[in-house]
Structure 1
Amino acid sequence: MSTSRAADPPAPDAVAATLREAEFVRLCARPTGDALAAAGLLARALRSASTPFHVRTTRAGTAPDGDGTPVALGWTAPDATFVPAGDRPVSVVAAEVVAELGADPDPVVGLAGVVAAESAPGADGSGSLLESAERRDAVERRPGVAVPTADPADGLAGSALFRAPFSGDPEAARALLADLDYPAEPDDDDRRRLASAVALDATADAPPRAAEAVGRALHPYATPEGPFETLGGYADVLSATAREAPGLGVALALGNDVAREAALDAWRSHATAAHGLLDDPSTSRYDGAFVVRIDGESDGHAVLATAARLARDFASPEPVALVVADGAAAAAGVDGTTDVTAALREAAGDGTASGDARLGDARFDGDVESFVGGFRGAL
């Protein structure tokens, strides 16, 4: 999960020292599930310390104006203490900051951030979070597919963790379950059969990286006391709400379960729209980039970024996928060695771009073909 950054970020103990001395903290999270989970971890620690705080998401290049001490999560801010997207999930670094403050990070929130960062529970420095969750019986590994809801058809159709023929289509998901004779109360063998079917559907006619991508959604960690059925499902909802309804995402990360149903509605609509963009796209393949053109104006940044990630993993034969509409675009890269946000920023010219090396979005003036040409040249 490497990414370029303009300056070395402060160590967790330095971030903790800043928070300890602050009278009021403004947590400014990039709209990703990982950064949102990190904000939730820090906000809970600040609440325990009786330190006033405010949480918001932002795509700005500098910390938004306001009183108090700004802390940027998921991006490099020149005018704030920052924890950028880097070699480890932002939520892992935030958990270390919480520990430096003498508090216990919520392991389920932290691990949901880890999964949202396309990592795995226990990897990339999250071992202590997983150990804490297992010690508390907060997670339980089981066969099956990572979805947020108890209704498997709803979960399969609404998932943006993978792309398959039933994605965005609850009726098709129910047909799959009927073909498998999937019972209302499945056992481990039933869950294994479902996971195998999902893996086959998601990887058919897909690039090789699809196997790794869908693998992150299989053999999930169930969360018996969590707001959603699995860690992966929690991560999926956080990622969707971070872009689609950030206020709901913030509420979830802070532990407000009242927002659960509204967040699920946002998750469903977000995934349905993202998959819909890829159902019958106009595509072009270039050296290093796979381009998906969307007719007309898009609904903005939210859906394009998710569609770009899905296109990268399940459609693109190239290491970078670009989804572009009139005035807006998003790009996703495989490993961060090619900084897609830097390429978007160069192509956008006087427009705006935000994100990290692996995933970013942009607004631009001018025609789509010129933007695509500028993006390819920047790559």
Structure 2
Amino acid sequence: MSAAGRDHASATAASDVAAAVREADFVRLVARADGDALAAAGVLARALDARGTPFQATVARPFEDADRGTDADLTVAVGHGGPADESVRGRPASATAFKAVQELGVEPDATLALAGAVAADDPGAIPSAPERAGVERRPGVAVPVADLADGLAHTTLVHAPFTGEEGRAADALADLDLGDAVDEEDRRRVASLVALTVAGDPGATERATEAVERALRPRVGGPFETLGGYADVLDATARERSGIAVALALGGDVREAALSAWRDHADRAHAAVRGADASRYEDLSVLRDAAPVGTVARLAADFRSPEPVTLALAGGEAAVRSTDGRDVADAVAAAANAVNGEAVGRGDRARARIDDADAFVAALREAL
């Protein structure tokens, strides 16, 4: 089977998406399984609801077709290039969705769109969103819950000695002797604790000290403790529990179910980063038995990998991330093609579905 899905096309213009949606009687939204695409689908779905246009929203994991509950006269792929009449592509997809909704004459959900942009690590992509959402920065760490031990243990914005280990997170916080009512100075101390712990971790890379900044000085707003925490939960639920993810993006009362999925996802990811069978080659770090592969590849690339390209493998799935600016999509597509697999991706990230992991690693090394 030839490698498929290399996304060469640029993002569909927001005006094109808006024009198609405006004329549709029933719209089906199919989002890629990540926080940005999920948020983008939610922004579009909420606008459709405001216009009284029937819709169906689903999440599709890589190489899987989302279930079709009913036929639609317009299918919009969100965040990917799968079969569709229109697509919202590029990164962040939430920025394109935000503009498309404005084109429809509907006020977009700025908080959800901004959370999507944060999930894509590009919060500046929607310049007007922070003011529209009424969110402001504060000292501290971007977690979705008030319980800091829970938040630090289960965030997937950081990998550190306390992540995935709530007891260790609680012990680290105990050393700060925080009061019952956490104030701004306490939050600054927590942020310093996180930054210093990452910097002082013997297993961390130089990149880790930059990557940790993503979790500091969060914006506050939305249905969770911080906007960054909201983005983290969107991303985790999209990857773990698609039904809960869609309900969350549509504004449903699924907070506790979403947080449960977030905790499960984080526990598995942090355990895999620590316990995966790791090997190192020139320009490539490989982690085997490392599910969930997408999140593990990102965390390892940002905080642990000594090489500029990181590959996570588990159960016939592969995820690749680069940290030196190189475009890995062509290499992953070539490697997948060499082992009769499939590949999708663009820029610094790509995914593959393969049968022979060893052969894929060898092919990827050659392609790089």
TM-score by length of 2: 0.91
Answering whether residue 121 of structure 2 is matched by residue 113 of structure 1, we say no
User: Could you say which residue in structure 2 is the equivalent of 1:353?
Assistant: 343
After superposition, residues 1-379 of structure 1 pair within 5 angstroms as: 5-58=7-60, 59-60=62-63, 66-77=71-82, 79-86=84-91, 89-120=92-123, 123-124=124-125, 126-134=126-134, 139-204=135-200, 205=202, 206-223=204-221, 226-256=222-252, 258-294=253-289, 303-334=292-323, 337-340=326-329, 343=332, 346-347=335-336, 349-366=339-356, 368-379=357-368
In structure 1, distance between residues paired with 2:129 and 2:10: 24
Q: Specify the SS of the correspondent of 2:215.
A: coil
Deviation at 1:359, TM superposition (A): 2.9
* CA–CA distance in structure 2, aligned partners of residues 141 and 241 of structure 1: 25
Deviation at 1:351, TM superposition (A): 3.0
CA distance in 1, matches of 2:334, 2:241: 24
Greater CA drift, 275-284 or 306-315: 275-284
What amino acid maps onto 1:189 in structure 2?
E
In 2: Cα distance, 1:196 partner to 1:155 partner: 15
For the structure 1 residues 191 and 16, does the alpha-carbon distance in structure 2 shift closer, same or farther, using more than 3 Å as the test?
same
Identity %: 49
Q: State the AA in 1 paired with 2:95.
A: V
3-state SS of paired residue (1:329): strand
Distance (whole Å) between structure 1 residues aligned to residue 343 and residue 244 of structure 2:
24
The whole-number CA distance in structure 2 between the counterparts of 1:111 and 1:161 is 16
Superposition CA RMSD, Å: 2.2
Contact 2:327 2:346 in 1 (8 A): no
Deviation string 1:198-241 (CA, Å, 9 cap, x unpaired) is 01112333222212221011011112xx2210000000000000
CA–CA distance in structure 1, aligned partners of residues 346 and 324 of structure 2: 11
Deviation track 1:325-355 (CA, whole Å, cap 9, x = no partner) reads 3422221222663234750563363333344
For residues 292-340 of structure 1, the C-alpha deviation after alignment (integer angstroms, 9 at most, x for no partner) is 122xxx66xxx11101100000011222111123422221222663234
Aligned counterparts of 1:142 and 1:11: Cα–Cα separation in 2: 34
Q: Is the 8 A contact 1:62 1:78 kept in 2?
A: no
Q: Distance in 2 between matches of 1:319 and 1:354?
A: 20
Flag the 1:63–1:129 CA change in 2: closer, same or farther, 3 A. Answer: same
* Residues 10 and 90 in structure 2, CA contact (< 8 A), matched pair in contact too: no
Change in CA separation of 1:370 and 1:98 when aligned onto 2, cut-off 3 Å:
same
- Check 1:336–1:96 CA distance in 2 against 1; reply closer, same or farther (3 A cut): farther
CA gap 1:14/1:63 in 2 versus in 1, 3 angstroms:
farther
2:254 alignment partner, SS class: helix
Q: Displacement of 1:358 after TM fit?
A: 2.8
Instruction: Find the aligned partners of 2:329 and 2:22 in 1 and give their Cα distance.
Output: 35
d(CA) in 1 for partners of 2:155, 2:66: 32
- Name the SS of the counterpart of 2:335 in structure 1: helix
Unaligned runs of 5+ in 2: 1-5
Structure 1, unmatched stretches of 5+, are: none
The residue identity in structure 2 corresponding to 1:46 is: L
TM-score by length of 1: 0.89
Q: Which structure is higher in RCO with an 8 Å CA cutoff and minimum separation 6?
A: 2
- Matched-pair contact (CA < 8 Å) for 2:237–2:245: yes
Deviation at 1:363, TM superposition (A): 2.5
The CA distance in 1 between the partners of 2:285 and 2:307, in whole Å, is 6
Amino acid at match of 2:237: T
Matched residue count: 358
Distance 2:317 2:169 in 1: 31
1: CA distance, partners of 2:323 / 2:298: 9
| Residue range with higher mean Cα deviation, 323-332 or 19-28 | 323-332
Q: For residue 3 of structure 2, what is the aligned residue in structure 1?
A: none
- The alpha carbon displacement at 1:118 in A equals 1.3
- Kept after mapping to 1: 8 A contact 2:320/2:328: no
Task: Assess, with a 3 A threshold, how the Cα gap between structure 1 residues 328 and 9 changes in structure 2: closer, same or farther.
Answer: closer
Q: CA deviation at 1:63?
A: 8.5
